[in-house]
Amino acid sequence: MSGPIGVIGVGQTMYRRQHSDKNTAELVREAVLAALADADLDFDAVDAIVGSVAPDALAGIANIDLASIARPGKPYFRVNTGGASGSSAFLAGLTWIAAKRAKVVLVVAVERMGHAVTAQQIFNSIFDPIYEKDISMSTISMVALRATMLMQNYGFTLDHWAGLAARNAAASLNNDTIERPRAFTAEQVKASGILAWPIHRLEACPTSEGACAVVLADASLVGSRKPAWVLGARGLSDTYAMGDRFHRPEGSLVKLITLERSAKRAYQDAGITDPARELDLIEIQAPFASSEVMAYMALGLCEEEDCVGFTERAIAGTAGLSIQPSGGPQVVNPVSATALIRIAEAALQVRGRAGARQVDGVRRTLSTGQGGATQFSTAVVLGADRP
């Protein structure tokens, strides 16, 4: 990276099941204007725009970003790495500034899945049409497969999945970007019916729509604004084939190798050697409890042997750092935007602007992105101190 880069603006719409009163461009505009106002910049100051949209079929419009995110007179490109699209777009924005092609980049993500009447049928279409799609795989069963493997390999139980879901729901009550925060107990999760064993209905993220915009700026333009400085930002791809990840020497399906390696490099960039002690807060892209547990290990927050113990401390709130203070993607998961929201939430925390969900004394944070059947991972470290 050349000079330091800061997040100087964050804008979010409300996240709700459907924004039936707004078309997509109207939804995007709301987040963009909020981000520019937060950054105290006019649209003229934006040198380039990076858009994040995941599967087109969820919105039922091919390239929904062309009408809703791209702007006349601005360089524009779209990033799609499934659920990691938002953070991958953020990484692309950083690269434009680091390469000195821009001083200010607007990163915009929008999810329009409320258009879809059969979301899980559409998610079935992300799987290989030759070898896998006919087996009725969906994103929920894809996650369930990993959850069963975590139970087999490490001794996790249904109580852990329910406990994390209940903890995240409780946290969401403080998040004013969520229209309908949900609160429930672990017992209610376990009584809510099986979607795809071991996943119960209340553990699964609901259909969610909304837009998120983030303004990135070169240090020379930060001025007197209060930024969240980008201390490290990395991403990696894995193989598409889940069946290839069972017996490979570097780790099984439930070992998120790309996240582990992305985080390790981001920590190096940020000068972090002991993440569990040096990070104050993490926002993990975990739409299900099992996704969160896999990330704990990959992020180096606990040893593999202690992953059940760490999870229990996370449920109890005694893990030593703030985990998912926004409630995370288990509560709202606007797929194309989720990974950018993790970064936006961390930036708000570092800048002391997180409202009722603000955690005291946040100096360093980590946000993850995860997409495409854990094919894509990103790790972004933000901090209060200029690097």
Partner 1 sequence: MDEPHSPLIIPGTWNFEYRYFAGDAATRFFAEIRDNRRIMGTRNPVSGQVMVPARGFSDADYVAATEWVETGPEGVLEVFSIIGTKFPGLPDPPFTLGYVTLDGADTAVLNYITGVDLTDIDAAAEILLKRPRVRAIFKEQREGRITDFHFEVIET
For position 120 contacting partner 1 by CB under 8 A, the verdict is yes
Of 61 and 359, nearer to partner 1 (C-beta) is: 61
User: According to the binding rule CB under 8 A, does residue 375 interact with partner 1?
Assistant: no
Of 23 and 268, CB closest to partner 1: 23
Residue 368 to residue 338: CA distance in whole angstroms: 10
Tell me: does residue 137 bind partner 1 (CB under 8 A).
yes
Binding span for partner 1 by CB under 8 A among 100-108, 208-216, 217-225, 246-254? 246-254
Determine contact, residues 209/113, Cβ cutoff 8 Å. Answer: yes
Element (H, E) at 6: strand 5-12
Phi, psi of 240 (to 5 degrees): -70, -35
- CB of 324 or CB of 375, closer to partner 1: 375
Q: What are phi and psi of 304, to 5 degrees?
A: -55, -40
| First and final C-alpha spacing in the chain | 11
Verify binding: residue 191, partner 1, rule CB under 8 A. Answer: no
Contact code string over 146-175 relative to partner 1, x by CB under 8 A: xxxx-xx-----------------------
Q: Which of 53, 380, 61 is nearest to 212 (CA)?
A: 53
Q: Beta strand pairing status for 104-111 and 210-218?
A: antiparallel
Specify the stretch interacting with partner 1 by CB under 8 A; choose among 46-54, 164-172, 188-196, 308-316: 188-196
Give one DSSP letter per residue of 54-95, joined into a string: --GGGTTSTTTHHHHT--TTS-EEEE-BTBTHHHHHHHHHHH
Question: Would you call the peptide bond into 329 cis, given omega within 30 degrees of 0 as the criterion?
Answer: no
C-alpha span between 244 and 260 (Å, rounded): 18
Residues 59-98 close enough to bind partner 1 by CB under 8 A: 60
Q: Which is nearer to partner 1, 118 or 220 (CB)?
A: 118
* By CB under 8 A, residue 240 contacts partner 1: yes
| H or E stretch at 297 | helix 289-298
Instruction: Indicate whether 135 belongs to the interface with partner 1 (CB under 8 A).
Output: yes
Kindly state whether residue 290 participates in binding partner 1, applying the rule CB under 8 A.
no
Name the segment binding partner 1 (CB under 8 A); options: 44-52, 130-138, 287-295, 339-347: 130-138
Cα–Cα distance between 176 and 331 in angstroms, integer?
12
x-or-dash string of contact with partner 1, 21-60, rule CB under 8 A:
x-----------------------------------x--x
Using CB under 8 A, pick the residue from 37, 194, 304, 320 that binds partner 1. Answer: 194
Interaction between residue 141 and partner 1 (CB under 8 A): yes
Binds partner 1 (CB under 8 A): choice among 101, 180, 248, 277: 248
Q: Are 172 and 331 in contact (CB under 8 A)?
A: yes
Name the residues that contact partner 1, by CB under 8 A: 20-21, 57, 60, 115, 117-118, 120-121, 124, 129-132, 134-138, 140-141, 144-149, 151-152, 193-199, 201, 239-244, 246-248, 253
